[in-house]
Amino acid sequence: MKLLAVSSWFPCPPDNGSKLRAFHLLSQLANHHDITLLSFAESNEDGNQRALKGFCREVRTVSGNPNRPAGALRARDLISATPRSYVQTYSPRMQDLVDAAVPHHDAAVALQVGAAIYLTKHVTIPRVFDEAEAGVIRDQFHTHAAGPARWRHGLTWWKFGRFLRHLVESFDRTTVVSDRERQHLADIHCDLSAIRIVPNGVDRQSLKQKNELRPGRLIYPGSVTYSANLEAVRFFAGEILPLIKRARPATFLVTGSTGSVDVADLSADGSVTFTGRVADIAHLIARCSVCVVPLRTGGGTRLKILEAMALGTPVVTTTKGAEGLSVVHGENILIADSPDAFAREVLRVMDDFVLRARLAANGRRLVERLYTWDRIGAGLENVIQEAQAAHRGQAMVQSDLIFPRWSATA
């Protein structure tokens, strides 16, 4: 089948969660389909097209990043039903590419909201909207603000929810990464009968890598250019790490780009190191005694947790961090929310060899059972087949409305 994929993120290099998902899902879908990829790409990414040629028949890009509003707002945009961030990043060039490609394909997949908007009108082919996400926006605007700010945040969330609901309704099938995200769509009155859970995952090769734990070394794999990651790092470095260091020596590594974020205050005493982007992050995670994920905001399925589990590195996280994962506290992960409790759980892993071995073994088994990309790709393939069947059914209904099937006795 000729499959059109439209992506908000250019999948190479796969150096953040959204790119990883796009890269691995496309590579899995290529086992069954002839894929054309239309993607946004920034100037430093466009040269990576060669890496996608192994599983995409054609790759075409539009310069830019739909996650960074750039255009100026007009007065009428403020009253548009479309949230201003998507108005500011809308690309006529991308729309032209999609419009030209659709007639030559049998089905289409939109990877995230920023891509889905370009496929809404194309009802002639089956379409899947992958990774509809409301959790991040909900967290951002469900605050304890008072007065006008509270009213403004509520209005913004209502507008986004209405926009996302109409977007979901325009596709034959929609996927979310967790049951929690599915509930967020239920909260904005989406029809759950056409929504399927297709989680994030890890490369099966990670399960084969040997773990060489370095005592006292803790790691958080996540770029602080993402606000939820920065908040988590500040929370850990400022309120949790000092409690751990009172009991025993410890160092804290934070991977990923720091961009223009000022982290000088966090690394002042030498116990916190920002590595920047690393060529082999799995190698680094596998050589840490604990992966700490003290998230308090954000959405999605935590790729950083799944990768650490696959590598046999024990994970300590918050309730928010574990959200959407089929994990069990004390069996394959440790969960704590307050600074004191979080520090205690980290120290337990560092000091208790039996606990550490149990978490590592059970975490790996969980990932192998539920969260490898081959399994997840098969799940998305099933969703595409559902979308095709649903689209055929709709076409038959529409045909019957135009040309009624009269009975022989009429």
Q: Does residue 90 share a domain with residue 152?
A: yes
3-state secondary structure the chain: CEEEEEECCCCCCCCCHHHHHHHHHHHHHCCCCEEEEEEEECCCCHHHHHHHCCCCCEEEEEECCCCCCCCCCCHHHHHCCCCHHHHHHCCHHHHHHHHHHHHHCCEEEEECHHHHCCCCCCCCCCEEEECCCCHHHHHHHCCCCCCHHHHHHHHHHHHHHHHHHHHHHCCCEEEECCHHHHHHHHHCCCCHHHEEECCCCECHHHHHCCCCCCCCEEEEECCCCCHHHHHHHHHHHHHHHHHHHHHCCCEEEEEECCCCCCCCCCCCCCCEEEEECCCCHHHHHCCCCEEEECCCCCCCCCHHHHHHHHHCCCEEECHHHHCCCCCCECCCEEECCCHHHHHHHHHHHHHCHHHHHHHHHHHHHHHHHHCEHHHHHHHHHHHHHHHHHHHHHHHHHHHHHHCCCCCCCC
Tokens of 246: 């009172």
Mark 76-115 as b/e (b = at least 16 C-beta within 10 Å): eeeeeebbebbbbbbbeebeebbeebbeebebbbbbbbbb
105-125: pLDDT as tens digits = 999 999 999 999 999 999 999
pLDDT at position 73 is 55
* % of the chain with per-residue pLDDT over 70: 87
205-245: pLDDT as tens digits = 888 877 777 889 999 998 898 888 999 999 999 999 999 99
- Cα–chain-centroid distance for residue 363? 20
Q: Does residue 65 share a domain with residue 106?
A: yes
Q: Does residue 277 share a domain with residue 196?
A: no
CB proximity list for 339: less than 8 A, separation 6 or greater: 235, 239, 240, 243
pLDDT at position 113 is 92
Q: Which long-range contacts (CB under 8 A, 24 or more apart) does 241-247 make?
A: 241/271, 241/272, 243/339, 243/340, 243/343, 244/218, 244/343, 244/346, 244/347, 245/271, 247/343, 247/347
Q: Is the model's pLDDT at 323 over the cut of 70? A: yes
pLDDT at position 408 is 38
Q: Does residue 342 share a domain with residue 224?
A: yes
Residue at 324 is within a domain: yes
Cα torsion 263, 268, 274, 275: sign:
positive
Q: Does residue 278 share a domain with residue 165?
A: no
Q: Is the model's pLDDT at 248 over the cut of 60? A: yes
**Distance in angstroms (rounded) separating the CA atoms of residues 213 and 15:** 24
Q: Does residue 185 share a domain with residue 93?
A: yes
The amino acid that residue 336 corresponds to is A
Residue with the two structure tokens 């599983």: 55
Residue at 289 is within a domain: yes
176-191: pLDDT as tens digits = 999 989 999 999 999 9
pLDDT at position 237 is 95
Band (170; pLDDT cuts 50, 70, 90): very high
Q: Is the model's pLDDT at 410 over the cut of 50? A: no
- Does 13 sit behind a cis peptide bond, omega within 30 degrees of 0 on the bond before it? yes
Domains of the chain: total: 2
Cβ atoms of 365 and 327 closer than 8 Å: no
Mean pLDDT for the stretch of residues 327-345? 97
Residue at 245 is within a domain: yes
Mean pLDDT for the stretch of residues 336-348? 98
pLDDT at position 344 is 98
Structural domain boundaries enclosing 156 = 2-201+372-402
266-288: pLDDT as tens digits = 887 889 999 988 888 888 999 99
> 133-137, 216-220, 281-285, 329-333: lowest mean pLDDT where?
133-137
Tell me the longest C-alpha to C-alpha distance in the chain: 89
Q: Does residue 394 share a domain with residue 347?
A: no
Nearest in space to 109 (alpha carbons), one of 21, 13, 228, 46? 21
**Distance in angstroms (rounded) separating the CA atoms of residues 95 and 65:** 15
Q: Does residue 143 share a domain with residue 34?
A: yes
Tokens of 275: 């590595």
Q: Does residue 208 share a domain with residue 135?
A: no
pLDDT at position 142 is 57
We report the CATH number of the domain holding residue 360 as: 3.40.50.2000
Residue at 251 is within a domain: yes
Mean pLDDT for the stretch of residues 38-51? 79
Q: Does residue 182 share a domain with residue 76?
A: yes
Residue at 409 is within a domain: no
pLDDT at position 407 is 36
Q: Does residue 333 share a domain with residue 259?
A: yes
Residue with the two structure tokens 């469900």: 142
Q: Does residue 213 share a domain with residue 196?
A: no
